[in-house]
Structure 1
Amino acid sequence: MDYIVSARKYRPSTFVSVVGQQNITTTLKNAIIGSQLAHAYLFCGPRGVGKTTCARIFAKTINCSNITDEHEACNECESCISFNENRSYNIHELDGASNNSVEDIRSLIDKVRVPPQIGTYSVYIIDEVHMLSQAAFNAFLKTLEEPPKHAIFILATTEKHKILPTILSRCQIYDFNRITIEDAVGHLKYVAKSESAEIEEEGLTVIAQKADGAMRDALSIFDQIIAFSGKSVSYQQVIDNLNVLDYDFYFRLIDACLQENTSDVLLLFDEILKRGFDAHHFISGLNSHIRDVLVCKDPATIQLLDVGTKTKERYGEQANKCDVNFLMDALEIVNACDLQYRVAKNKRLHVEFSLLKVARILTEKK
């Protein structure tokens, strides 16, 4: 079976193909151009944003014997070929979670003394480095401070606060960003095109939102959707598969509140519960929805919306119907409902009462 998941198949192999980390890739390229390589780097940030990928690309590029005019690895020299075929003796990857003892670090220190057979540098990539024990960190300190000239360490972690200050002070620290919705959607479009799949932009936006800033998660969800729906995917299929509450419910609810139609408000909430959605999840989503409508009241802040083009237009239309005071009062009521939800004895009644209060805002103002 030759199937490869998208997160591996479309893993970036050059600096330019890394998604959403241009400031870091530019800095690393400039360090290579100016021959200003540090002996230790610390890459930190959320999961799935490209820390280990950037470490591999950097390690591959500094050992390339024929770097291109764009300052990328050539993929033709012996060092690049051996790296691409997973047989490079220059680049060593260590999992800090399963190799976290003093003995593991001492074994690594013994290997560091051996110069590379091909290329200039021996690069040691230690993933999840925060998992090393206190004793292992201490054993590592001297080598990290004064390694041999041919050795470069790249440490990667999702939990920078767990790393000893003495380790941090010996490294150049790079903080990776969460991937923005826009960057994630752009990359998903490229992957969909490469896979000859058609998926609506609104659906890609939902996938990117669900991934919460992790490109790897977005690609995993993308694979799941393709497996569920085939090569042609609609927005409705995406939200059905991911069990996401459709924007349409929120738009209809606010419209009903503007018309002071309390019956429709209660029936809509009942329909949401019957579809299996959690009431607290719904209230949290309504909070975000009212905030997004409020953002659309000013053309200058519409860019703050992380939604597709069609949905953005719909937000604009609803913003035109709503008075700012109505939105502020609604936001205050729904936010209070969210905060008090956990202590409410009758949670359904708690939410329903809050929704009825929102539906009566305009009446109370008269």
Structure 2
Amino acid sequence: MSDFSLESQEDGPVEDDAAAPADAPAQPYLVLARKYRPTRFSDLIGQDAMVKTLANAIEKDRIAHAFLMTGVRGVGKTSTARLIAKALNCIGPDGDGGPTIDPCGVCEPCRAITEGRFIDVVEMDAASHTGVDDMREIIDASRYAAVSARYKIYIIDEVHMLSKNAFNALLKTLEEPPAHVKFIMATTEVEKVPVTVLSRTQRFDLRRIPPELLFDHFKTIAATEGVDIEEAALKQIASAADGSVRDGLSLLDQAIAHGSGLVTAEAVRGMLGLADRARVRTLLGHILDGDAKAALDELNAQYVAGAAPDQTVEALLGQVHAITRMQLGADPDLTTGPEGRQKLSEWAEQVGPATLHRLWQLLLKGLEEVKRGTMPLETAEMAILRTIHAAQMPDPGALMKALDRASDSDAGPAPAADRAAPASVPTAMLSEDIAEREAGAAGPEGSETPARSPQIEGLPREFDQLLDFFVKADPRVEAWLHDEVGVVRYEGEDLVLSGREDRDLVGRMKTTLREQLGADLRIVFQDDPGAMSKKAREDARIAAERQRVMSDPNVKKLLDAFPDAELVGYELETENDGARDGEAPDDRQRTAL
């Protein structure tokens, strides 16, 4: 068909050499994700280990009968399956080639597979063909040789969607397929694939693509398409793609349409609904400075500008994480510019790790509340106010060091404790004379009860041994002796007790001793306020230790600084200093909270 010309009354005839034939159909627009789908292994980015393994397998003719591609969406699982099909069936431009890791792309099998019309490469979507009947069709068809290819290849996408019966039907053929058949499966949820299937395939885990590689890839595509786009915008798209090439290309497509000319970082930020990093750092600065009003004003200004509250809180978390990384010597993410790096570096030197951890936990909890709540802006405001309050709290370790220094410089005896002892423990039991009274009542070897005079054959010598005996013989008697009675005297066959008398338990105690030890024990009761039960003695000791801890100057200052705090636990350690040059050891007790 000959070219045609357009005539203008003013300029005369003008020939349009580039005009297409009048009856030529318009070519539909092809999205970037499909237009730049890899057509050879060299086009795959970030999957070098898999490509090397396949290249060695093809070169040494050690090609597996079944492959499984797994990874997140958009990293090239289905594209890799098609590339394997091309690599195994390529015959070269001259028609005499064999399997190769670098298919020619011009032979009939290569072109037909690329266009999706090759009869010996069957693609099946397991999401819509989940039943055992679909698997039966594949099994029956696999018995026949390929029509025109070297291998008949079945590509099963989203294989984890197959039913249990479908998997079971496929197992035998998958393990021992005919020599002319290859299976290539792809899935995003490999944990749902039965182990019996995994054991019959050669598995390749396709990795997420790093943002740096995505940025270079998108930059090349933008240059090829003739798109004027800022590098900062490309970095934002690469970061938002989250390791997926397809997601990133879809975002790039959208950004080109959204920009309608020059694609700026601000336009991409608005398209993605992201918070401005610079403004987020301003908000974080207000939080660290404790300026609540300025922080709420900045949060509301970002909300009016279009940033959702949950995205702002999430961006704050990202900045806290970046500061923590810089403290460890690692670089922040790709989208942080030089100015942002300088600010993060300053914070990394000024803010301690404990404060950063508190900020992270509080903001993370706030993010959950904002996403779950019905008033996101108000919830975000309250979360930031809570974070500001916590950020100003002193670090516990630094506070204790300051209290230690204050205690060392404080002269004079320590003041008495300001807080009362627990009401359940009598105050008299907290006095120092408890230890003296127990020491006076103790026997020659420091035991809690007097030593017995001549030992009666069969009876335990000490009261503690008597308790140990009843732990197994009669636990109820042992509990009564331990908790409710005190020993006045234990000599020979006489046991004098003070406390709650229980005739039934006394009778059981005598009967048990007679039957198991063959000995009689006379048990009498008399009132003696000084005869305390073992339980009361232990409670008094614990109460006295607690009182000693509460009297410690450091503890007092700490409780004064935090009036609502409670002492929930402590540990008393003994340090032995001295024992040098003949000196006696100096036993000191140190409070450890």
TM-score, structure 1 as length reference: 0.90
CA distance in 2, matches of 1:359, 1:33: 61
Pair 1:347-2:379 in alignment: yes
Contact (CA 8 Å) 1:291, 1:331: kept in 2 or not? no
Pair 1:306-2:336 in alignment: no
CA distance in 2, matches of 1:363, 1:331: 11
CA distance in 2, matches of 1:140, 1:258: 60
Offset of residue 219 of structure 1? 0.5
Aligned ranges for residues 93-132 of structure 1 at < 5 Å? Answer: 93-132=123-162
CA distance in 1, matches of 2:337, 2:98: 42
Q: Judging by fraction of residues, say which structure has more helix.
A: 1
Offset of residue 362 of structure 1? 9.0
Pair 1:33-2:59 in alignment: yes
Cα distance, 1:231–1:110 mapped onto 2, change above 3 Å: farther
Quick one: which amino acid aligns to residue 82 of structure 1?
A
2:304 alignment partner, one of 274, 298, 319: 274
2:242 alignment partner, one of 209, 212, 217: 212
> Which protein is bigger by CA-based radius of gyration?
2
Deviations along 1:317-347, whole A, 9 cap, x unmatched?
1134325462531441342242255468862
Deviations along 1:216-243, whole A, 9 cap, x unmatched?
1111111111111124211101001111
Q: Which runs of 5+ in 1 are unaligned?
A: none
1:253 alignment partner, one of 246, 263, 283: 283
Q: Which moved more, 1:221-230 or 1:77-86?
A: 77-86
Pair 1:264-2:294 in alignment: yes
Q: Which moved more, 1:334-343 or 1:243-252?
A: 334-343
CA distance in 1, matches of 2:216, 2:128: 35
- Answer 1 or 2: higher relative contact order, Cα 8 Å, separation at least 6: 1
1:2 alignment partner, one of 16, 23, 28: 28
Offset of residue 31 of structure 1? 1.1
Which 4+ stretches in 1 moved above 6 angstroms?
Answer: 361-366
RMSD: 2.6
Aligned ranges for residues 149-164 of structure 1 at < 5 Å? Answer: 149-164=179-194
Aligned ranges for residues 321-332 of structure 1 at < 5 Å? Answer: 321-324=346-349, 326=351, 328=353, 329-332=355-358
Quick one: which amino acid aligns to residue 223 of structure 1?
D
Contact (CA 8 Å) 1:283, 1:334: kept in 2 or not? no
Aligned ranges for residues 164-183 of structure 1 at < 5 Å? Answer: 164-183=194-213
Offset of residue 32 of structure 1? 1.1
1:235 alignment partner, one of 265, 270, 277: 265
CA distance in 2, matches of 1:353, 1:237: 31
TM-score, structure 2 as length reference: 0.57
Secondary structure at the aligned position of 1:266 is classed as helix
Deviations along 1:233-263, whole A, 9 cap, x unmatched?
1110100111111101122123334555443
Contact (CA 8 Å) 1:68, 1:74: kept in 2 or not? no
CA distance in 2, matches of 1:17, 1:68: 21
Secondary structure at the aligned position of 2:186 is classed as strand
Q: Which runs of 5+ in 2 are unaligned?
A: 1-26, 400-593
- Structure 1 residue aligned with 2:342: 317
- Structure 1 residue aligned with 2:68: 42
- Structure 2 residue aligned with 1:203: 233
Cα distance, 1:10–1:231 mapped onto 2, change above 3 Å: farther
CA distance in 2, matches of 1:330, 1:140: 53
Offset of residue 100 of structure 1? 1.2
